Structure 1
Amino acid sequence: MFKYIKNDLPASVVVFFVALPLCLGIALASGAPLFSGLIAGIVGGIVVGALSGSQLGVSGPAAGLAAIVLTAIGTLGGFENFLVAVVLGGIIQILFGVLKGGIIAYYFPSSVIKGMLTGIGIIIILKQIPHFFGYDADPEGDQAFFQVDGENTFSEILVALNNISPGATLIAVIALAILILWDKVLTKKSKIFQLIQGPLVAVVLGILYFIFTQGNSNWGISPEHLVQVPVLESFANFGSLFQFPNFSVIGNPEIWITAFTIALVASLETLLCVEATDKLDPYKRTTPANRELFAQGVGNSISGLLGGLPITQVIVRSSANIQSGGRTKLAAIVHGFLLLISVLLIPRLLNMIPLSVLAAVLFIVGFKLAKPSLFKTMYQLGWKQFVPFIVTVVGLVFTDLLIGIALGLAVGIVVILIKSYQNSHFLHIEDKGNGENMIKMTLAEEVTFINKGAILKELDRLPENSYLELDVRKTRYLDNDIIEILEDFSGKAKSKNINIKLISERGVVENPESYIKFFNLRPKQTA
């Protein structure tokens, strides 16, 4: 794990700076104590990072669960009661892993996963525009289209442009310029620029800017535009930041419903992010999905016991890790320790980091996920790839992660059904020259009720006095609905003087009396 420490340490610093405001912002959006978001980030980094089989995935509190958490805290009668559901949800996830529920990860089309990554990239950019200009009414980490302050993603940008903070915007522009220069030029000049990451330089510059412009009414940065980490007055008060589960409510059915909801949604989000992260991995490693569910379950149980939010693997932090050169799980683990150490030792220094600088860092992350060239590539692959891709992108931007994925998956299934309908058979027509048509129809390997319409249409179009050669030698599954169509067609064939030759592995039959008997089937059975 320490073989690539020179790659993982700089990457962990970048992930730390990305994760810190997200942990706090998601806690705020969830209606939970701010420290609960930091607990989830620390546990997600250290515990889940150590147990996971993912080399590049980073776990922590997820924006996709914020609405569920916000509702559940009110429904269950308080945060301590909600924590019981988090612990139980973790145990259910462990069971999912043991029962090999991770197999669901392999049933999402590549076009949908690429659409998810692109949509997340666009959302990151859109959501960070207000923070870039120093307008922070909406908490960091809120990814839903309709936001907690009553605006939507696009109206929030318009409001932000009417409320620009000059100081926050200036340092954000400078930070963005540094990041682009670092990425495109300096890293190619010397190894020192590969070891010291651009985001770290941008953050340090942001802190210095805040210090030197304090008190300046025009160019200074006010406290609401800074990171806001809870500050301990002394280590003796450390325990006061924690809240613990109230297990006396474990018999409440609502607790168990919430626990199962958390387990299901967190597992699905994790598996989607695992699939996406593996696609981004330049070394094409594969994450064991069942082990990931087990690791997430252990992490959620521990997070709930310590007073933290639910955890999933998250694509924003994972992609930041990959783009910063992370190679192994050490980057995720170290980022967790950095969260812990910094909260304990330097919270006041962290509270000098402008949110606009972190927005500039996330701009780069978002752009690398949603490169314009990807749209062109997906379009060139044809409509079967492009349509599910673009539906997923639009769904994510205008709704949320799970709804966007569901829309893309639904469109992908429709595409499969259309192609299955079209590819149920192969039809070839020969003219013998004496006015008699020879029609050769070869059925596909699997023919189901979905193919009824296509086959029935072709059979009805056969001209009178023709000769049909029906080849089922390649067919391994023939639905009873199709056999009934053939059975009904045999009567029409006689009236239209159509001779039928049925070719199968069992031999050749001229004008079979009964297709059901031929395939050794009783009515309403399938082959």
Structure 2
Amino acid sequence: MSKNNSIPAEGMTGFRVHFQSDATSGFVVFLLALPLSLGIAKASDFPPLMGLITAIIGGIVVSFIMGSRLTIKGPAAGLIVIVAGAVADFGGGEQGWRYTLGAIVVAGFIQILFGVFKFGKLVDFFPLSAIHGMLAAIGLIIIAKQVPVLLDIDPVQTKGVSPLGLFAKIPYFLQHLDPKATVIGVVSLVIMLGWPSLKNSYLKKIPAPLMVLFVAIPAELMMDFQHTEPVYALVHIGDLLDNVRLNVDFHGTAQLGLFVKYVVMFALVGTLESLLTVKAIDLLDPYKRKSNPNKDLIAVGLGNVIAGVLGGLPMISEVARSSANVSNGAKTRWANFYHGFFLLAFVLLASHLIELIPNTALAAMLITVGIRLAHPKEFIHTFRIGKEQLFIFLITIFFTLYEDLLVGIAAGIVVKMLIHWFHGTPLTSFFKAPTVVSFEGNTYRVEIDKAAIFTNFLGIKRKLEEIPSGFQVTIDLQKTKLVDHSVMESLYHFKHEYESLDGGSVVLVGLEEHIPLSDHELAGRKKK
């Protein structure tokens, strides 16, 4: 908890007491969410307005039932790949969009069930190197799909081309770029990438996407895009009231295998991203409040059902907007509500301004997201944890680019299990780690036997979470043959969270005879 402040009040009391801080933060997040929601929708082959619909629902509806206080709900760049793939596979155009909505609605119901049956711990089953590989692959795919948009290439030229094919065609795109639109796109990209490095503290308070709009819209008006550029150069959204209706169509179930595939991907990847964001934002919360991940899944699932029925993109707890929410002083869930409220007001009162935005500027924002996800430092960081982690990371990226996200993360899991088997993990320990908890004096002792790896950590975590707060906890790993990186990081997360409550302490012992697989403090460890 913050040393100087008490826990912020919730409900209507929080609404009154924290109105200024929450409304201010919500307004800043609204400025971030407006162009990003449009860009994500367009990149997903959804009507651009539907990105805003999802963000509005995520703010105005989901805020009241979510299990986290400071996360922002809305469309995510990380799901662009799945959404665009679904639209294409379901026939493209309006039919592809409507059939995709059916998969989003069903996935939303599955997320609600995940929350009801307390599957919020699902995130701990997946190896971190595979998750980061999946996110890096998503970043590369976003970059591949947005480079031609940045250069204002006719969308017909890129339709149906794979991510690897798009990278291969970049020289062709450069030869056929539109000079005027590309200038705006490149300047926007420079602003997005360079803004965090600014020294001027006053300028840095302006969100980079908002600064892009300040530059791109006047430039577009000066060049008269509406009369001199093709129709695909500008955003087109239409009227909110004319477009919000029952847009979902479940006829996609006729292609049952395809429908199930996308339901699984929306439910799985959306759930993973949301849970990872909730965990990350809890660590940033100055008041050290702990979210209820299962309640949050129910809220996100309900939001996806509503958004899917009305035509919107799938929503998650989005990490960049949530981080901005924390850094701008938000105190309660009302900040998420205000972000949705300001979006709704803008769409109702000033939607004509949105149609002045060049698509190349939106592409620059999304390319920046892609660069952050697939930044070289992610490769370097993974390598430092261990060569085997980098191998899993790269395998996940390759199969995601070559096939799809499900195949990619499945390949990463299989490779990690094979590595564990090579390191001597008994097959009987892959899904169960004998864990004994004893209590003496003021100390809980947790002894883990055989192996502590990502596939059996859920059982270990269940035992850890049953320990009351405020005690000395000793986690003894002496009898393990292998402790993998995912478990090492999860144990340190547990230590951090437990010690933030009621003065308890956590000590890891028994690793003296284990050899670290790299110099990183959270590297996997194998017994000599």
TM-score scaled by length of structure 2: 0.64
- Give the whole-Å Cα distance in 2 for the aligned partners of 1:401 and 1:156: 22
Aligned to 1:225: 233
- Give the whole-Å Cα distance in 2 for the aligned partners of 1:445 and 1:112: 25
Matched letter for residue 117 of structure 2: L
**Judging changes above 3 Å, is the alpha-carbon distance between structure 1 residues 253 and 386 closer, same or farther for their aligned structure 2 residues?**
closer
1:118/1:370 contact within 8 Å kept: yes
Secondary structure at the aligned position of 2:390 is classed as helix
**Judging changes above 3 Å, is the alpha-carbon distance between structure 1 residues 123 and 34 closer, same or farther for their aligned structure 2 residues?**
closer
Greater shift in the superposed pair: 162-171 or 378-387 = 378-387
Aligned to 2:71: 56
- Give the whole-Å Cα distance in 2 for the aligned partners of 1:184 and 1:245: 43
Matched letter for residue 228 of structure 1: H
Q: Structure 2: any 5+ residue segments left out of the alignment?
A: 1-13, 429-447, 452-477, 482-528
2:130/2:409 contact within 8 Å kept: yes
TM-score scaled by length of structure 1: 0.64
Matched letter for residue 269 of structure 1: V
2:38/2:48 contact within 8 Å kept: no
Secondary structure at the aligned position of 2:44 is classed as helix
Secondary structure at the aligned position of 2:167 is classed as helix
1:320/1:365 contact within 8 Å kept: no
Q: CA deviation at 1:279?
A: 6.7
Matched letter for residue 173 of structure 1: V
1:105/1:289 contact within 8 Å kept: no
Residue by residue over 1:446-493, the C-alpha shift from the partner in whole angstroms, topping out at 9 and shown as x without a partner, is 49xxxxxxxxxxxxxxxxxxxxxxxxx9699xxxxxxxxxxxxxxxxx
1:49/1:59 contact within 8 Å kept: no
Q: CA deviation at 1:100?
A: 1.7
Structure 1 counterpart of 2:244, from 242, 266, 275:
242
Matched letter for residue 108 of structure 1: F
Aligned to 1:235: none
1:296/1:311 contact within 8 Å kept: no
Structure 1 counterpart of 2:186, from 131, 150, 173:
173
Structure 2 counterpart of 1:408, from 399, 407, 412:
412
Aligned to 2:44: 26
Secondary structure at the aligned position of 1:264 is classed as helix
Greater shift in the superposed pair: 336-345 or 350-359 = 336-345
- 2:161 aligned with 1:189: no
Segments of 4+ moved more than 6 angstroms = 76-82, 255-260, 473-476
- Give the whole-Å Cα distance in 2 for the aligned partners of 1:84 and 1:120: 23
- Give the whole-Å Cα distance in 2 for the aligned partners of 1:201 and 1:367: 19
1:134/1:356 contact within 8 Å kept: yes
Secondary structure at the aligned position of 2:61 is classed as helix
**Judging changes above 3 Å, is the alpha-carbon distance between structure 1 residues 49 and 395 closer, same or farther for their aligned structure 2 residues?**
farther
- 2:320 aligned with 1:319: yes
- 2:214 aligned with 1:204: yes
Larger radius of gyration: 1
Aligned to 1:457: none
- Give the whole-Å Cα distance in 1 for the aligned partners of 2:225 and 2:194: 30
**Judging changes above 3 Å, is the alpha-carbon distance between structure 1 residues 386 and 210 closer, same or farther for their aligned structure 2 residues?**
same
Q: CA deviation at 1:207?
A: 0.7
**Judging changes above 3 Å, is the alpha-carbon distance between structure 1 residues 115 and 207 closer, same or farther for their aligned structure 2 residues?**
same
Secondary structure at the aligned position of 1:229 is classed as coil
* Cα RMSD (Å): 4.3
**Judging changes above 3 Å, is the alpha-carbon distance between structure 1 residues 398 and 419 closer, same or farther for their aligned structure 2 residues?**
same
Structure 2 counterpart of 1:91, from 101, 109, 117:
109
Matched letter for residue 157 of structure 1: I
Aligned to 2:381: 377
1:229/1:343 contact within 8 Å kept: no
Q: CA deviation at 1:164?
A: 0.8
2:106/2:305 contact within 8 Å kept: yes
Q: CA deviation at 1:50?
A: 4.4
Aligned to 1:520: none
Q: Structure 1: any 5+ residue segments left out of the alignment?
A: 233-237, 425-443, 448-472, 477-527
Matched letter for residue 227 of structure 1: V
Q: CA deviation at 1:209?
A: 0.7
Secondary structure at the aligned position of 2:153 is classed as coil
Q: CA deviation at 1:382?
A: 1.8
Matched letter for residue 369 of structure 2: V
Secondary structure at the aligned position of 1:196 is classed as coil
Aligned to 1:267: 267
**Judging changes above 3 Å, is the alpha-carbon distance between structure 1 residues 14 and 221 closer, same or farther for their aligned structure 2 residues?**
farther
- What is the aligned length? 407
- Give the whole-Å Cα distance in 1 for the aligned partners of 2:378 and 2:96: 45
- Give the whole-Å Cα distance in 2 for the aligned partners of 1:165 and 1:122: 23
1:124/1:362 contact within 8 Å kept: yes
**Judging changes above 3 Å, is the alpha-carbon distance between structure 1 residues 398 and 340 closer, same or farther for their aligned structure 2 residues?**
farther
Secondary structure at the aligned position of 1:152 is classed as helix
2:147/2:363 contact within 8 Å kept: yes
1:270/1:312 contact within 8 Å kept: yes
Q: CA deviation at 1:56?
A: 3.3
1:225/1:354 contact within 8 Å kept: yes
- Give the whole-Å Cα distance in 1 for the aligned partners of 2:255 and 2:313: 14
2:22/2:338 contact within 8 Å kept: no
- 2:137 aligned with 1:126: no
- Give the whole-Å Cα distance in 2 for the aligned partners of 1:278 and 1:119: 22
Q: CA deviation at 1:107?
A: 0.6
2:39/2:363 contact within 8 Å kept: no
Residue by residue over 1:5-36, the C-alpha shift from the partner in whole angstroms, topping out at 9 and shown as x without a partner, is 545532331222111122244244xxxx6655
- In the TM superposition, what are the counterparts of 1:129-144 in structure 2 within 5 Å? 129-137=147-155
